[in-house]
Amino acid sequence: MDAPDQLVQQFDTAPLAERVREAILEAILSEKFVQRLPNEGDLAGMYGVSRTTIRAALQSLENEGVVTRRRAIGTTINSHVRRSALALQRLVSFAELLKERGHTVRVEAEHTRMEQPPADVVAAFGADVSTEQPAFVTDTSFFADGHLAIWIRDVVSWSRLRDQSKIPSPGDPAAFDFARSYLVQPVVHAVAEIRPVVNHGEQTRLPVEPGKAFTRLLERHYAADGAVMAVSLVDVDDDFVVFEVVRRA
């Protein structure tokens, strides 16, 4: 089996085990690992880390339902692992999900600014969004074959920013990684509400016809102490993406 050619990216604020987990997950999704993973010692050599770090990364992948670990058998890749089954957990980007479905994808960060929290976000998230201070707002559009398929509005209250002297750069608009770069506390988990919505005219930027349904995700991103660090309003055209939920027995 060929070793993955992806190196573990160096993010100063990301724990090493998390970086290794991401690299192994990408190797699984790109089919550099098929059916099962190499043993812990081989993985440690491939990624240049200790076996303890590998164990922590594999434990995380098992908790996420990506792999199954059994004594004397090793680590097997679960057969349901597809980008469509992982996108809802943000384990893969929406761009990769659309590409998996055969679309030509373009991603645009339409507008990044500091302003009072937008009315649609306040209405959706209520008290989890402070209206007493400005917020850092980013709008991102994912186009599939030229059609707007997914639209995201990410909002971070200004007090959650590590450096409040300037508007931060959101980085790669296709990836949800701002928690690593400029929040005062890292995001450790997120909760996504899935809401079917019928378009009545002004409810979404998606070009769906009036009376047609689309999917809206309301995501709250939490720090370890339970504080809401950011929120994301995600509108998805069901003609392009249908999310799958994996339930472990």
* Domain annotation for the chain: domains and CATH numbers: 16-81 (1.10.10.10), 92-236 (3.40.1410.10)
Q: How many CA atoms lie within 13 A of 211 on its CB side?
A: 0
Could you say which DSSP state residue 38 is in? P
Q: Which residues of the chain have pLDDT under 70?
A: 1-14, 79-92, 111, 170-181, 202, 244-249
Distance CA 156, CA 161 (A): 8
The per-residue pLDDT for 89 is 55
Judge whether 120 and 233 are in contact, CB under 8 Å.
Answer: yes
CB 186 within 8 A of CB 223: yes
> Could you tell me the CA-to-CA distances from 70 to 39, 59, 77, 213 in Å, in that order?
12, 12, 12, 43
Strand ranges in 116-199 using DSSP code E only, listed in sequence order: 135-144, 147-157, 189-198
pLDDT at 214: 93
CA 139 to chain centre: 15
> Computed from CA positions of residues 46, 52, 57, 58, in that sequence, does the dihedral angle turn out positive or negative?
positive
Residues paired with 195 in a beta bridge:
216
HSE-CB for 146 with a 13 A CA cutoff: 0
| CA neighbours closer than 13 Å in the CB half-sphere of residue 84 | 13
Per-residue pLDDT reduced to its tens digit, 103-158: 999 998 876 788 899 999 999 999 999 899 899 898 999 999 999 999 999 899 98
Specify the pLDDT at position 204: 86
Tokens representing 144? Answer: 């599939």
* pLDDT value, residue 43: 93
Eight-class DSSP state of 235: E
